[in-house]
Amino acid sequence: MASQKIQFVQKIQDLLTSLALEKAKRKELYDMYFAREYNSGGAAELVFADYSENETIGFIPLADIISCITLLENEIKFYAGTSPANAQYDTSINKVRKLPS
């Protein structure tokens, strides 16, 4: 029984280590979006024409990309202890994510 508990705690530790690494990547990506001025009204605002010709991502609506940026923002707020906006992001995530091969 003790070995199962040790494995359980190790799995939690592994999961949270992954979460911490991914959390840092998400914050970096979110910051990059604004630093490069890809945001709405930014000097290099991201528009659909910027990537529509790409065969692997050209099908993704810009609105879903923006929704994912908002998701990143709300995750950052959540981890910082501030109130994120309550929204349904599953639709955008499912449209944008890569399917396992």
Note the pLDDT tens digit of each residue in 15-56.
Answer: 999 999 999 999 999 999 999 999 999 999 999 999 999 988
CB contact set of 43 (below 8 Å; sequence gap of 6+): 37
Tell me the average pLDDT of the chain.
92
Cβ atoms of 29 and 72 within 8 Å: the answer is yes
Please, which pLDDT band fits residue 87 given cuts at 50, 70 and 90? confident
* DSSP one-letter code for 50: G
Q: Which residue has the tokens 């991201």?
A: 46
CA–CA gap between residue 82 and residue 29 (Å, rounded): 20
pLDDT value at position 101?
A: 66
Please, which pLDDT band fits residue 6 given cuts at 50, 70 and 90? very high
In this prediction, what percent of the chain has a pLDDT beyond 70?
99
pLDDT value at position 41?
A: 96
> How many other CB atoms are there within 10 angstroms of residue 79's CB atom?
14
